[in-house]
């Protein structure tokens, strides 16, 4: 951590501040005196230093971290890729491409089972589906809730596909015991109480980037889960909010190589929410794979026109089949090139 | 609601879609046929219609709401200002200026009681202070939690100031029973499970705008609370996230007159989080009052340099005293002009 | 165009407004009366109608275009892809992949000729290089100007590569007579005077998206050039400005398929400016090609450490060679799949 | 300037880099060696150092300026407020409130003279009006051009009000010889060629902030003009582009106190473009004055419904009269408080 002091800082203030930093945080402080300003360099573990505390000092002009504020999610301290293994042996982040597919909302036994069979036939390895739905309007369909979870498990039983579904509340964690991957949605990425509790489980967590969250904040939220003892975190880029209104969100695909370089965690991309338009899902899926994503999470509905939520961005099973073939083909091509 | 159909829509598809809208939603459908496209106009209560469902239809090109999707928070259906009255008789939104002041975090009995006395002496009517703190880093100070709540109540007992403090978890609602105003922070503005549960209480709720939430989304979150039966919602503009990095956030003061025109709920402004810099708090407080805000929520710390969180944006009691005098003076001036 | 009137609009106002629209714009006006509001539908060419004029009417609540406001750039009126052919026969937008490569700034004869030879050897078909440089600071290197143009032509002569370089001023158009493609930079995307003058030439124009320009605005700027009579426009996505600071800009790759669907013009992607980091250029180049881009424009410098501008995002010739091999390989793979 | 080197940097590389910095830029280089990384501190005038050049070095991890990159616009080197005096003796930035008012576009002699008389009667000191109009669409009204300038001068002759109007092209500078204040619009804020040429004049320049320009970039554009020798720059906040769509732009009022603290130049606010809605102009004008603005620039049209551009955000003369009374009253109140 580098601290630039204001020009008016006196020698006494400087000494006193240095002593305080040393005693409060156990860091070593180097002083470099320039013409216009003095700069302090802090050596040691600065992760726990509250940058706001430093900024609030009268004599401080600016503070800059050199170290990233996350440790467990940091590739520097964990160079190998994290590979997450589900109970059926499926691995995420091992160099293969994982596709999670299914409807935005679980609606009925017929619907979820039919979609599950379809997406499995197309090569999807995981079934997604919302039981508890975060909706902007209190008057919109909120999901089938516990019944939705049961229907997902039914579809899993029938097809063997592991399931991923979103949690919205700490008190539901027990109910999600038998879910294979628990999803934390974009709106809950900084629901720190939920993250802390999920950190106490051993469940794989699919952590979606918040609509206006920086890459560093996403990693800090992963760090919350990991600090609690759960290392099974999958990061998900799903579009950020910008001034552009043609697409629902702006899919930030550069986040994929950035996250892969800063962290060892697997990264998946959600082109459905990322664009909000089914017509863009294929091209953005291809781009995500080419950018190095470990997986995709795609909305598929047997009858998007009748979908109770997010129909506009859902693919039909037939469309999904085409996308799946394309992306698996691309992944094979890319892997064959890498192995040359 | 206006629905623009694609040019290729056939007469049969049109008729079938019209029949479905009528039967599913009980709305009347008017058809207007243009040269390039056909437009449907839906008459009746369209609040419950899922706009995504409509968009997903093959034959639909675009959908546009004419009605706002919120009802209880809508000034059209509730023309008079909502005035919120606390148990000590204090009114918020009645044309006076309400100031909530106090530290970001409650740190000790001495700290909170001293600040409470100070801000009361300067004219603040409500004491703010964080007991449960949402922090980006799991390694940062997370607040004194239940003990913090007790200290706030102690300060209330000593000064008579009602207290406002942030809730982060549904299971804590009981613990907040004796809090005068429960704050929902920016990061939880779309924690819908929390909003629903708060809707079942009668507590005044201070609802902060999310970092990337539109004005409409803020009103939809208020609608969540109100749909549950709790009309005591205070809206809070606290800065949005933009590309500008000089300030921590960009305070959107135009949201004040916009919210006042769209809704009947009181609107307060947080210039401390909105700017992240104590040097900007006075000018932005003045601007907020001039823009028509019903109140301000300002961070004050007896020793910002030692604050355990957000010190950079906290005022000293002396600085706050100056700000309070200025904004109350301005409010009196503005009220005197309005009464001319 | 659809116009929603305010509930208080009288029959007389309605009739008078309708008459005015008919006489001023020659459009037919359909009226649809709802319970709460009346909606007008305008039929005919509404491109020339100023939406602000309509919004300013007392009786108007909201206006919504159904037609896009651009005609010449619109795929609806020009379904086939535009293919741009340079004087050496090179085609852009014909299904092949075009790579423009070279230094941010032209610095010397040796530098530009060496880079030109290198990028040509790697497969680039066009040489890029800045002679006039838009720099945020007046104290930064502003380019070699006219001398830079001469050096580019020298490199063209030596290698046969057509050249693309940026124009910053109307009075320079004559000087750019012998340039193969004239680039309009992001900061000049809405320099309408420059666009108008470029519309009077027949030169291919590489039009870069502004840092905060919507996709529609980019197409409207293309329309400015085309309205003047110059149809040779190449669109370029080069990153937009968002809250994320890890990358210099956020590369909006979804703009590629969106632009390809809305317009018939070729679309190229600039991963160098789009990310600002040389380490991200390869993955974003691959993603751009997978998303359907017709070309790439990539910064290459023989000595990025000594580059007089934008060194951080430049590749070495060796790095570029690797990227070029990868993207041409990917394009071949994708084309072979498409032809199956 | 502070440069953080990568951990793998060798002693030889460090020494060579240090020598190079010293010889190339004449700065002194201090070295501070930490455990994980080495930090260089550069002493001297670092304004001319290209930060991109430094970033491009293999051994550099991060670079951070301590000094601002602008000098002439910097309050540190010019502590007193700049006061701009027009030929009629009117002063801008002297502690009084300057109001520029008039139509978006000049449309006719009657229109501009009538509005000029009206706004003068209400207290406006400067007449604004567009002769050359930057319009997103090539098919929209582009202004009366030279004729518009003549009409503005006619209105000035009749009322004595100095005029401010927008320039869009270097070759027009001569034509603007008799204009009192030349406006550089938001879309041309980084039209550096135009800025350079305006720097060679002595004309007061009203420089509007670009839609996605940071505060620092606005000051750098002012620096362009000032570096050329023209110190008469007035800064204008006119709203930035964010995700919020209810207002046309998001007026960033915190930019007012920030610009006043970083620079000595006068700051005016444009609430008309800043919000895009006439109903928000009064409250945002009041807020701007309370935030410390030196002036306002407000759109007024005698018949907003017939305005050829931007009617939705124009006030009628009667509405403007009310706003002017309110803001002058507020300014008097604030000045009286300051003098206590």
pLDDT band, residue B336 (cuts 50/70/90): very high
State pLDDT tens for residues B192-231: 999 999 999 999 999 999 999 999 999 999 999 999 999 9
Residues of D in contact with B212 (CB under 8 A): 243
pLDDT beyond 70 at D226: yes
Per-residue model confidence as pLDDT tens digits over A244-289: 999 999 999 999 999 999 999 999 999 999 999 999 999 999 999 9
Nearest CA in chain B to C61: B66
Cβ-based contacts of B30 with chain C (< 8 Å): 32-34
Question: What CATH number should be reported for the domain whose range is D75-338?
Answer: 3.20.20.70
| Banded pLDDT at B63 (limits 50, 70, 90) | confident
pLDDT attached to residue C143:
93
In chain D, what percentage of residues exceed pLDDT 70? 97
For residue A225, is pLDDT > 90?
A: yes
| Predicted confidence (pLDDT) at residue C123 exceeds the cutoff of 70 | yes
User: Which residue's entry shows tokens 């008309």?
Assistant: D272
Q: List C-alpha distances in Å: D102 to C220, D125, D177.
A: 28, 11, 20
Same fold, B2-64 and B75-338: no
Q: Flag whether pLDDT at D161 surpasses 90.
A: yes
- Residue B12 has a pLDDT of 87
- Choose among A57, A140, A169: nearest Cβ to B193: A169
Establish if D261 touches chain A: CB-CB under 8 angstroms.
no
Which residues are bridge partners to C164 per DSSP? C128, C181
D112 at the C interface (CB within 8 A)?
Answer: no
Q: Which of D101, D92, D32, D69 is nearest to D232 (CA)?
A: D92
Q: Is the distance from CB of D198 to CB of D205 less than 8 angstroms?
A: yes
- Strand partners of residue D28: D43
Mean pLDDT, chain B, rounded, equals 92
What is d(CA D324, CA D113) in angstroms, rounded to the nearest whole number?
Answer: 19
Average pLDDT over residues B175-183: 97
Which of the four pLDDT bands, split at 50, 70 and 90, describes residue B23? confident
The average pLDDT across A20-34 equals 81
pLDDT at C322 exceeding the cut of 70? yes
**How confident is the model at residue C16, as a pLDDT?**
87
Is residue D109 very low, low, confident or very high in pLDDT (cuts 50, 70, 90)? very high
Per the CB < 8 Å rule, is B50 touching A141?
yes
pLDDT of D90 over the 80 cut: yes
* Average of per-residue pLDDT across D146-173: 97
pLDDT in tens, D282-333: 999 999 999 999 999 999 998 877 766 666 789 999 999 999 999 999 999 9
For residue C220, what are the contacts with CB-CB under 8 A and spacing of at least 6? C69, C70, D136, D137, D138
**Which one of D52, D191, D309 has the shortest CB-CB distance to C50?**
D309
Our CA-based measurement puts residue B167 at a distance from the nearest CA of chain D, in whole angstroms, of 27
Tell me the pLDDT tens digit for each residue of B66-75.
778 899 999 9
**C-beta of residue C114 within 8 angstroms of C-beta of residue C101:** no
Q: Hey, is the C-beta of B39 within 8 angstroms of any chain D C-beta? A: no
The span from the CA of A303 to the CA of A108, in Å, is 12
Note whether B280 and B319 are within 8 A (CB). Answer: no
Chain B neighbours among C 65-84 (CB < 8 Å)?
66-67
Measure A250 CA to nearest chain C CA, in Å: 6
- Distance CA(A225)–CA(B182), nearest Å, equals 27
Q: Does the pLDDT at position D121 exceed 70?
A: yes
Neighbouring chains of D at 3+ CB pairs under 8 Å are A, B, C
The kind and range of the H/E element at B15 are: helix B11-25
Cβ-based contacts of B169 with chain A (< 8 Å): 170, 193
Query: Which chain D residue is nearest to residue A4, measuring alpha carbons?
Result: D66
Provide the pLDDT confidence category of residue A307 given band limits of 50, 70 and 90: low
| Strand segments (E) across chain C | 2-5, 28-33, 38-43, 60-64, 84-85, 91-92, 98-102, 126-128, 163-167, 181-184, 205-208, 233-237, 267-269, 295-299
The whole model's pTM is what? 0.92
Q: Which pLDDT tens digit goes with each residue over C38-73?
A: 888 887 777 778 777 787 787 888 887 777 889 999
Nearest to A127 by CA among A100, A148, A103: A100
Query: Which chains share 3+ C-beta pairs under 8 angstroms with B?
Result: A, C, D
Query: How would residue D147 be classed by pLDDT, with cut points 50, 70 and 90?
Result: very high
pLDDT at A106 over 80: yes
Contact (Cβ atoms closer than 8 angstroms) between residue D104 and residue D135: no
Does residue B121 belong to the interface with chain C, where contact is any CB pair within 8 Å?
Answer: no
A287/C253 Cβ within 8 A: yes
- Read off the pLDDT of residues C195-234 as tens digits, 9 standing for 90 and up: 999 999 999 999 999 999 999 999 999 999 999 999 999 9
Is the pLDDT assigned to residue C88 strictly greater than 90?
yes
Digit-coded pLDDT (tens) for B278-321: 999 999 999 999 999 999 999 999 887 776 666 678 999 999 99
Would you call B212 and A217 a contact, using CB atoms and an 8 Å cutoff? Answer: no
Chain A stretch 210-249, residues whose beta carbon is closer than 8 A to a beta carbon of chain D: 212, 241-243, 245
Distance, in Å, from the CA atom of D18 to the CA atom of A173, rounded to the nearest integer, reads: 56
Please state the rounded mean pLDDT for residues C243-258. Answer: 96
Distance from the B124 Cα atom to the nearest Cα atom in chain D, whole angstroms: 20
Q: Which chain C residue has its CA at the smallest distance from A211's CA?
A: C243
What is the pLDDT averaged over residues D221-226?
97
Q: Residue A309 pLDDT more than 80?
A: no
What was the pLDDT predicted at D3?
A: 86
Residue A110's pLDDT band (cuts 50, 70, 90): very high
Flag whether residue D286 sits within 8 Å of chain B, measured between CB atoms: yes
> What local confidence, expressed as pLDDT, does residue D308 receive?
67
Q: Nearest by CB to C69, from D134, D137, D192: name it.
A: D137
Percent with pLDDT over 90 in chain C: 73
How far does the CA of residue D314 sit from the closest CA of chain B (Å)? Answer: 17
Mutate to test the interface with A, among B47, B193, B223 (most CBs of A within 10 A): B193
- pLDDT tens digit sequence for A153-188: 999 999 999 999 999 999 999 999 999 999 999 999
| CB nearest D241 (choices: C55, C168, C212) | C212
Q: Which chains touch A (3 or more CB pairs under 8 A)?
A: B, C, D
Specify the pLDDT at position A241.
96
Residue A9 has pLDDT above 90, yes or no: no
User: Does B258 contact D at CB distance below 8 Å?
Assistant: yes
**What does D237-267 look like in DSSP terms, one character per residue?**
E--B--S--SSSSB--TTHHHHHHHHB-S-E
Minimum distance, in Å, between the CA of residue A330 and any CA atom of chain D: 33
Token pair, residue A338, equals 């890498």
Q: What is the mean pLDDT of residues D269-273?
A: 97
Using the predicted structure, report yes or no on whether residue A25 has a pLDDT greater than 80.
yes
Residues A307-311 have a mean pLDDT of 67
Nearest residue of chain B to residue A241 (CA atoms): B212
Confidence (pLDDT) at B99: 98
> What residue ranges do the domains of chain D occupy?
2-64, 75-338
Residue-level pLDDT at A86? 98
Find the CB nearest A50 among B191, B217, B309. Answer: B309
In angstroms and rounded to an integer, the radius of gyration of the C-alpha atoms of chain C is 23
Cβ distance A244 to A210 under 8 Å?
A: no
- C137: contact with D, CB 8 A cutoff: yes
* Integer CA distances (angstroms), D277 to D248, D268, D271, in order: 8, 18, 9
Query: Distance between CA atoms of D329 and D323, rounded to whole angstroms?
Result: 10
D279 touches chain B (CB under 8 A): yes
Q: Tell me which of A236-250, B130-144, B168-182 is least confident.
A: B130-144
Average pLDDT, chain D: 92
Indicate if the pLDDT at residue A97 is higher than 80.
yes
Strand D28-33: give its sheet, edge to edge: D28-33, D38-43, D2-5, D60-64
- pLDDT of B172 over the 90 cut: yes
Q: What is the pLDDT of residue D307?
A: 66
pLDDT at B44: 76
Report the pLDDT value the prediction gives residue D2, as an integer from 0 to 100: 81
Q: Tell me: pLDDT of A34 over 70.
A: no
The model's pLDDT over B232-265, given as tens digits with 9 standing for 90+, comes to 999 999 999 999 999 999 999 999 999 999 999 9
Query: With bands split at pLDDT 50, 70 and 90, how would you rate the model's confidence at A310?
Result: low
Contacts of C135 in chain D (CB under 8 A): 192
In this complex, is the C-beta atom of A53 within 8 Å of any C-beta atom belonging to chain B? Answer: yes
Asked if D55 and C312 come within 8 Å (Cβ–Cβ), the reply is yes
Q: Which of A254, A292, A329 sits opposite C247 (nearest CB)?
A: A254
Contact C223/D192, CB-based, under 8 Å?
no
Average pLDDT over residues B21-39: 79
Q: Please give the average per-residue pLDDT across A88-105, as a whole number.
A: 97
CATH says D2-64 is which class? alpha beta
For D135, residues 6+ apart whose C-beta sits below 8 A from its C-beta are C192, D141, D142, D309
Q: Mark residue A187 as left, alpha or beta (left: phi above 0; alpha: psi -120 to 50; beta: remaining).
A: alpha
B20 at D interface, C-beta within 8 A:
no
Interface with chain B: mutation pick from C9, C18, C34, highest number of B CBs within 10 Å: C34
The pLDDT assigned to C337 comes to 95
CB-based contact, D145 to chain C, within 8 Å:
no
Predicted pLDDT at D26 = 82
CA distance D274 to D240: 8
């Amino acid at each position: 951590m580098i601290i630039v002091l204001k020009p008016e800082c006196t020698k006494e203030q400087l000494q006193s501040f240095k002593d305080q930093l040393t005693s409060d945080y156990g860091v070593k402080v180097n002083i470099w005196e320039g013409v216009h300003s003095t700069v302090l360099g802090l050596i040691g573990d600065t992760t726990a230093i509250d940058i706001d505390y430093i900024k609030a000092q009268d004599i401080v002009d600016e503070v800059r971290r050199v170290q990233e504020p996350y440790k467990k999610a940091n590739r520097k301290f964990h160079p190998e890729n994290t590979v997450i293994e589900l109970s059926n042996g499926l691995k995420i982040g091992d160099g293969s491409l994982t596709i999670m597919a299914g409807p935005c909302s679980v609606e009925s036994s017929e619907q979820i089972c039919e979609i599950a069979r379809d997406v499995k036939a197309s090569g999807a390895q995981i079934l997604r589906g919302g039981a508890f739905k975060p909706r902007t309007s209190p008057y919109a369909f909120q999901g089938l809730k516990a019944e939705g979870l049961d229907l997902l498990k039914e579809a899993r039983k029938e097809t063997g596909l592991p399931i991923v579904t979103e949690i919205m509340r700490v008190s539901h964690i027990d109910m999600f015991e038998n879910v294979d991957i628990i999803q934390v949605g974009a709106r809950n990425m900084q629901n720190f109480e939920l993250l802390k509790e999920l950190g106490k489980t051993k469940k794989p967590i699919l952590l979606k980037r918040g609509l206006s969250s920086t890459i560093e904040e996403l990693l800090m939220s992963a760090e919350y889960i990991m600090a609690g003892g759960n290392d099974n975190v999958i990061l998900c880029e799903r579009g950020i909010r910008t001034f552009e209104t043609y697409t629902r969100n702006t899919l930030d695909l550069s986040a994929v190589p950035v996250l892969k370089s800063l962290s060892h965690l697997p990264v998946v991309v959600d082109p459905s929410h990322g664009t909000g338009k089914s017509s863009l899902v294929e091209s953005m899926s291809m781009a995500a794979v080419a950018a190095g994503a470990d997986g995709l999470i795609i909305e598929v509905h047997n009858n998007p026109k009748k979908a109770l939520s997010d129909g506009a961005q859902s693919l039909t099973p037939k469309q999904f089949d085409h996308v799946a073939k394309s992306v698996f083909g691309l992944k094979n091509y890319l892997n064959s090139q890498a192995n040359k």
